[in-house]
Amino acid sequence: MVVDMKYFVRVIRKLIPLILSIVAIYLGFQLAVFYLPFLIAFILSILIEPAIRFFMKKTHLKRKTSSIIVFLIVLSILIGIITWAIMSLVSEASNLLVNLNQYFEKGSDFINNLMAKIDLSRFQLSDTVVQTLQKAANDTLDQVSTWAKNILIRTIDQASQIPSILICVVISFLALYFMCTDKVYMIDQLEHHLPKLWVKKLGIHIKAISKSLGGYLKAECILIFISFVISIIGLYLFKIMGFGVRYPLLAALGIGFVDALPIFGSGTVMLPWAVISAFDGNLSLAIAIFVLWVIMSIVRQLLEPKLVSKHIGIHPIFTLIAMYTGFKFIGVMGLLLGPIVLIILKNIYATLLEQGVAKAIFER
């Protein structure tokens, strides 16, 4: 049997860039976590860049002066938001942690009462099967309770580490200041130290990724932020009105996180919450939550066509696979990062995907 070495060399040459891309993306995310303050500063600098340019255009001031003025305004707003958020998070998470067992006991009683009301005799189930179902439901509640406790404890620990948070915040603000005021210098230095071929190729890929992924993420961030603002205003109003909403900030963060996930949406959290509130006898809260969800859905449907000009072109099943893969690798954050990696790879290897991946790599 004659081995075609040229064929195997050709296949390996095609596989190496794909493997290197995956490794580079993985290392990129690891570095992003390690240098989180600088990543935050970079994202904020992109967000406030239009404000700096607008200020320069209207006032005819130099970039550095305009950047300092906009930076001070943003700094004041962010310090106020961060202070309020930390205090509210610690307070709400601590209160929820204290009352968590009580809530899950109510959930266990609700499941047992529901199963008692259902006529299981028509299904011809034995007492052993019924007891097994009840035990499985209670075990699931216990696991969810343990998971929720761990998240709340981590939230309190992270929010209570004032020195670490303070250092991270100070470094982020300093980096943001330099990125805003010395943007041109930084770009010149980057081009000076990198080979021209690298700069050219990086520029092509960055422009393409910014156009597809950047535009999509920007639109989604705006939509998620609007949903978060609507939900937190609504939930705080419900708390003031005495509807029994005790943890509005935590609930709004949870709704915002689920709303950020592809395929899922705010209804994944709000509709079950409304149903459970109705069964618990709090009909006012159930109706209020449902009305709030309807308002959020209408606003999103009105804004989404204007903000998201085109879809990312990935079937939901592949998005779901990417979410699950990300979850298995890095946990809950992988649900968000998995689809982003998929979009990046799709953009880089668009030509390969059009030809057919396996066909382009392995076909003779």
Q: How far apart are CA 268 and CA 285, in angstroms?
A: 17
Q: Residue 195, by phi and psi: left (phi above 0), alpha (psi -120 to 50) or beta?
A: beta
Other CB atoms within a 10 A radius of the CB of residue 301 amount to 9
Stretch (H or E) spanning 39: helix 36-59
Q: Which residues contact 222 (CB under 8 A, 6 or more apart)?
A: 303, 307
Q: Are 312 and 212 in contact (CB under 8 A)?
A: yes
Query: End-to-end CA distance of the chain, in Å?
Result: 17
Number of C-alpha atoms within 13 angstroms, CB side, residue 25? 17
Residue type, 150: N
Q: How far apart are CA 315 and CA 321, in angstroms?
A: 10
Residue type, 310: K
Q: Which residues contact 339 (CB under 8 A, 6 or more apart)?
A: 262, 314, 319, 322, 323, 326
Please tell me the predicted confidence (pLDDT) of residue 12: 79
Q: How far apart are CA 42 and CA 126, in angstroms?
A: 61
Q: Which residues contact 259 (CB under 8 A, 6 or more apart)?
A: 223, 224, 227, 228, 265, 266
Tens digit of pLDDT for each residue in 126-148? 667 666 766 776 677 667 667 66
One pLDDT digit (tens) per residue for the chain, 364 residues: 455 677 777 777 777 877 887 788 778 778 877 888 888 888 888 778 888 888 888 888 888 888 888 888 888 888 888 888 877 877 777 777 777 666 666 666 666 666 666 655 555 556 676 667 667 766 776 676 676 667 767 766 665 666 677 788 888 888 888 888 887 777 777 777 777 777 676 666 666 666 666 666 677 778 788 888 899 999 999 988 888 888 888 888 888 878 877 667 788 888 888 888 887 778 888 899 999 999 988 888 777 666 654 445 566 777 788 888 888 877 777 777 777 778 777 777 766 666 666 666 666 6
Which of these, 221, 220, 234, 218, lies nearest to 295 by C-alpha position? Answer: 234
